[in-house]
Structure 1
């Protein structure tokens, strides 16, 4: 098996500097040493020209990953992307949408502690990722601390221990056919997406200020199964105005494990009636990157709700499990 490692930066290859940890370690040498007992493997190594701390990652960086993988697709059997953990789940989801139908395994991994430092989890994560990509049926996925997670289902849950990622709604990390959007696939580009977290006492005036001037889209992080302060005077009017101006408002939950149902409670129904769109059971990372992906395609605005509710890369549970009676 021939595996290409794409190193983008992040903790896995960081070294100490007077400013703190920064990318700069010899990750290629570390991997060669780590896998010297695997004569069945041949490996290639590529890296970003300018390594990044993943907290600086942008949609253009997602596209750099996608472009690199496409450029090397025919040369290798499988791919491991070495990425900083802060936005690893975003990049894995972004690659999942853009590389649906890619036909070869791509696994993202990283580390909480760099190569060469005491207690480093880098060796275990790299070895695990290599074992994962040996399965040709794998699509886009995240491997971390012994767990393989579908690329659109991972969320970072800890910065303090080795188990950095979880999956609120596990799904198979399987290859999926490319969706037909009806337009040629366009690259990722930046979009002005406002992320607003509902809090007790938030006023409609504050909500309006947070979304003025009108962004390209709004992600409203509400509560539970999809409710927000809809009883606050003027709150739903802000959603109505955004919607009528062509800015979609997508409702997520602050609960890590949830499935938005805007028809279940009156407080959610009011958001729906104002024009909000429920994000079903997508993680925050999957919903944000999906919005970026869809907006980058310049689809008609009227089609956006349909595509948000269409499973493109395993980000949605199509056959939803029953929801237990929720206590608000």
Structure 2
């Protein structure tokens, strides 16, 4: 864990830097000026040597999409390889903060520096805002030494980038790691073609929760729309309507076309174990790969990283079942630090 020689502060927008507009809060550029003003006003706050970049224009994170993930990935890699930074702080809106943290966890595999994402529930300009505590708390966490990888800092807590979820919309402790059961151990060696050097392309992905009354025609319409990968949020430990032959056949047809089907639990504390119930085994037989204890954010980000790298369905399915950065395992590989 090296000391910070140069910190890159990347600002993508979000509530932390928003200002009032005629229709409500809107993203505003130039957050670096506000950060410098805060450092002058509160000299007890400490920053290592730092540089600054911002997304142009900064966005409300509700508008985040895969293209932005790739832009952020490129900016982080450039900060390390071109600007000589050995730590990165990414300021991001909270609506999709956990999604971006998860996606970047897979897009930055092997980068070798710590990356911390944070944001705020109230703009930095508002009295009583959590913005500065989150920002400087994230900086302090980096200064104390973090293992390489993606982390999320919020409300005084440092969270794993591929395990965090937003649980609240009106509390400063809005993010947490859900205690979802995980199995297995970390992949000891990164697969060729899946580290941060790998360029990705946009992928047509979808997420669908199972619910009582879901019709096969609804599922088929989604699968027939060109979806390359589907995260299916199953009941409990990975069950679904096993007596609906038409729905199961829609899944089989999609799998035969090469669509990757990933099953996760829709329970906040759940995990997938298809062999527990016959209703789960029916989904596995129809072509679903078990996502163990992955969150929705991690499942979506991992699917994007794998399919966006151009992997064929069979290879993507293999790596979906392996733990790449701690997203679905509690243990690290031999000799590795656990983030």
- The secondary structure found in structure 2 opposite 1:234 is helix
205-214 or 232-241, which moves further after superposition? 205-214
Q: Alignment RMSD, CA only?
A: 2.3
268-277 or 95-104, which moves further after superposition? 95-104
66-75 or 31-40, which moves further after superposition? 31-40
C-alpha separation between the residues in 1 aligned to 2:299 and 2:233? Answer: 11
User: Equivalent of 1:141, from 142, 151, 169?
Assistant: 151
Work out whether residues 196 and 210 of structure 1, in 8 Å CA contact, stay in contact via their aligned partners in 2. Answer: no
Aligned pairs for 1:1-328 within 5 A: 1=4, 2-24=6-28, 26-35=30-39, 36-38=43-45, 41-74=48-81, 75-134=84-143, 135-169=145-179, 179-182=190-193, 185-317=197-329
Name which structure has the greater RCO, CA cutoff 8 Å, separation 6+. 2
C-alpha separation between the residues in 2 aligned to 1:66 and 1:203? Answer: 38
Deviation at 1:165, TM superposition (A): 0.8
C-alpha separation between the residues in 1 aligned to 2:188 and 2:30? Answer: 36
Work out whether residues 62 and 188 of structure 1, in 8 Å CA contact, stay in contact via their aligned partners in 2. Answer: no
- The secondary structure found in structure 2 opposite 1:219 is strand
Deviation at 1:40, TM superposition (A): 6.2
Residues 61-86 of structure 1: CA deviation (Å, up to 9, x unaligned): 11111111111215223110000111
108-117 or 19-28, which moves further after superposition? 19-28
C-alpha separation between the residues in 2 aligned to 1:108 and 1:201? Answer: 39
C-alpha separation between the residues in 2 aligned to 1:303 and 1:164? Answer: 36
C-alpha separation between the residues in 1 aligned to 2:267 and 2:107? Answer: 27
Listed as ranges, the gaps of 5+ residues in structure 2 are 333-339
C-alpha separation between the residues in 2 aligned to 1:196 and 1:204? Answer: 13
Listed as ranges, the gaps of 5+ residues in structure 1 are 321-328
- The secondary structure found in structure 1 opposite 2:237 is coil
Residues 100-154 of structure 1: CA deviation (Å, up to 9, x unaligned): 2222211000001000113311011001100111114252100000110111111
32-41 or 111-120, which moves further after superposition? 32-41
226-235 or 114-123, which moves further after superposition? 226-235
C-alpha separation between the residues in 1 aligned to 2:32 and 2:325? Answer: 30
C-alpha separation between the residues in 1 aligned to 2:194 and 2:215? Answer: 40
In structure 2, relative to structure 1, the CA distance for the partners of 1:25 and 1:63 (3 Å cut) is: closer
Deviation at 1:213, TM superposition (A): 2.9
Deviation at 1:229, TM superposition (A): 1.5
Residues 136-175 of structure 1: CA deviation (Å, up to 9, x unaligned): 425210000011011111111111111111111489xxxx
Q: Name 1:323's counterpart in structure 2.
A: none
What's the TM-score once normalised by structure 1's chain length?
0.90
C-alpha separation between the residues in 2 aligned to 1:257 and 1:234? Answer: 30
Work out whether residues 47 and 139 of structure 2, in 8 Å CA contact, stay in contact via their aligned partners in 1. Answer: no
